[in-house]
Amino acid sequence: MNYRIFPPDELLEADITLPLSKSLSNRVLIINALTEGAPDTVEVAACDDTDVTVRALSSDADCINIGAAGTAMRFLTAYFAATPGRTVTLDGSDRMRHRPIRELVDALRCCGAKIEYAGEEGFPPLRITGHKLVGGSITVNSSISSQYISALLMVAPTMQNGLEITLEGEVMSRPYINMTLGLMRQHGVEGEFVDKVITIPHGRYVPCSDKVEADWSAASYWYEIEALTSGWVTLHGLSNDSFQGDAKVASIYENLGVNTDYEGGEEETDGIALVASPDLSPRLVMDLSDTPDLAQTIVVTCAMIGVPFCLSGLASLKIKETDRLEALKTELLKVGIMVEIENNNTLVWDGARRPITAMPEFDTYDDHRMAMAFAPVSIYLPGIVVRNVEVVSKSYPEYWSDLVKAGFRLVDADAPMAEGTDADDSE
């Protein structure tokens, strides 16, 4: 389905209960599955990425298709490889079959795993025969995906000799590695992360009363909306004391006209208020290697409010749901913004524009973050179209209904216009 989107008629007011963090949820699900005596159920994010993990963990099927869920593919590869007596083929969507996984497979094989490629070498589908892994010392290229590291860490306590991982190259998304180690610590496994070496002893997880917090990545789209509207936005379920690296969005948006008011001060709270600020950086220069999932939101925000940028550390965006660097460059041209890609890891905009010749219709590339980052463009250009809006179910299924709650109007872009109406009329 395609939506034509119109902004609120009045000053935006939004009171939003955010979805739970899918990053925390997927880790909790894997750790719980490895924990003897863990609760049968735990409240996790209700979205595609966690749904496929839940189904896979409860399935006894010989072949499991995880669709486009990259996190599930990485985590479940390690989980099934370390599960004695389980033989399974992990498959996914066509895009998943073109997302590399060789680095993780090679690392698991070094630990004693039995994994074969059921299709193209280096890519899913994978045929996995689970058994107790030996572990030991391995070296992993950490410049590709932190999910490989997290997948190895979570199964490391089950390995006969534990696991020592030496990280080679630039460490991508370090906060996600710290998130994994933090959750493992809560479940009784204490790891060490010194310089670029992570050591996990052989051990046993203990049950923990898990409470998954709201998703700071989902909050980023409301930071974008606040930056574009200077309205009133309250977001529930967030904490300043968070495992999530994307909580950094609060400090990043101080450069883009949005301050964060933690209810009850800087302690753990149930929510935050976003407050408009006159402070804008003349140019945003930032390394996003720790928070690449925020890139699309930040880029679109800067483009709309006219802040030139140079954002580096984005190499991992090329192997996400789509090549997000190329997708951003292509879609921003539809609003006249001429972005350049440098060294396959940096997005640069010096303020160059070209005229807009048609009302933009944004493609989403089967990527939830493209849809959610571009929808707020309607604030500046009422009547834009976002295609294939169902992609948001991957992480934030209630996104569109939350926009409606905030006063946005969504129209089926493929439905015939009523006689006498104007597609650009937001009444």
pLDDT tens track for 10-66: 999 999 999 999 999 999 999 999 999 988 778 999 998 899 999 999 999 999 999
User: Nearest CA to 23 among 298, 152, 216?
Assistant: 216
pLDDT of residue 266: 46
Q: pTM score, two decimals?
A: 0.88
Residue 321 has pLDDT above 60, yes or no: yes
Pick the CATH number of 22-200 from 3.65.10.10, 3.10.20.90, 3.40.190.10, 3.40.50.300: 3.65.10.10
Residue 176, classified by CB atoms within 10 Å of its CB into exposed (0-12), middle (13-18) or buried (19+), is buried
Give me the chain's average pLDDT, please: 92
Per-residue b or e along 332-347, where b marks 16 or more CB atoms closer than 10 Å to that residue's CB: bebbebebebeeebbb
Which residue ranges make up each domain of the chain? 3-20+213-412, 22-200
Q: What tens digit of pLDDT does each residue of 273-292 get?
A: 999 999 999 999 999 999 99
Strands (E), 26-149: 63-65, 87-91, 114-117, 126-129, 136-141
Residues assigned a catalytic role: 293
Q: What tens digit of pLDDT does each residue of 329-356 get?
A: 999 999 999 999 999 999 999 999 999 9
Pick the CATH number of 3-20+213-412 from 2.60.40.10, 3.65.10.10, 3.50.50.60, 1.10.10.10: 3.65.10.10
Residue 415 has pLDDT above 90, yes or no: no
Residue 383 has pLDDT above 50, yes or no: yes
